[in-house]
């Protein structure tokens, strides 16, 4: 489903109407030298959608979410899945 980038930007700034959309999860993704990716999952009309935007890592990288994206952004529908992870610790 496509969403307007202003709608998604308001969601990123947590400046949205909680009766229309619910922010379910926010996670930092991969980092580059000057910016990092932020992954968000939100509920809209009973369905979950995922979106990703870039956030600058220094004051010189003044990036607004979705700044260089088109006006309509495709957000895939997602579903929660439990993942088991194995880690190793010292005995």
Domain ranges of the chain: 2-78
Query: What's the pLDDT at 31?
Result: 85
The tens digit of pLDDT for each residue in 73-85 reads 999 999 999 999 9
Burial class (CB in 10 A: 0-12, 13-18, 19+), 32: exposed
Query: What's the pLDDT at 63?
Result: 78
The tens digit of pLDDT for each residue in 3-15 reads 999 999 999 888 7
Burial class (CB in 10 A: 0-12, 13-18, 19+), 42: buried
The tens digit of pLDDT for each residue in 36-64 reads 999 999 999 999 999 999 888 877 767 78
Distance CA 12, CA 19 (A): 16
pTM for the whole thing? 0.82
DSSP 59: T
Cβ atoms of 51 and 3 closer than 8 Å = yes
């Amino acid at each position: 489903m496509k969403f307007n980038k202003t709608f998604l930007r308001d969601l990123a700034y947590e400046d949205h109407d909680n009766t229309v959309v619910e922010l379910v999860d926010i996670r930092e993704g991969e980092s580059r030298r000057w910016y990092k990716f932020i992954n968000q999952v939100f509920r809209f009309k009973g369905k979950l959608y995922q979106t990703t935007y870039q956030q600058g890592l220094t004051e010189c990288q003044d990036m607004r979410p979705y700044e260089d994206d088109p006006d309509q952004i495709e957000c895939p529908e997602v579903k929660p899945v439990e993942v088991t992870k194995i880690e190793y610790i010292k005995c």
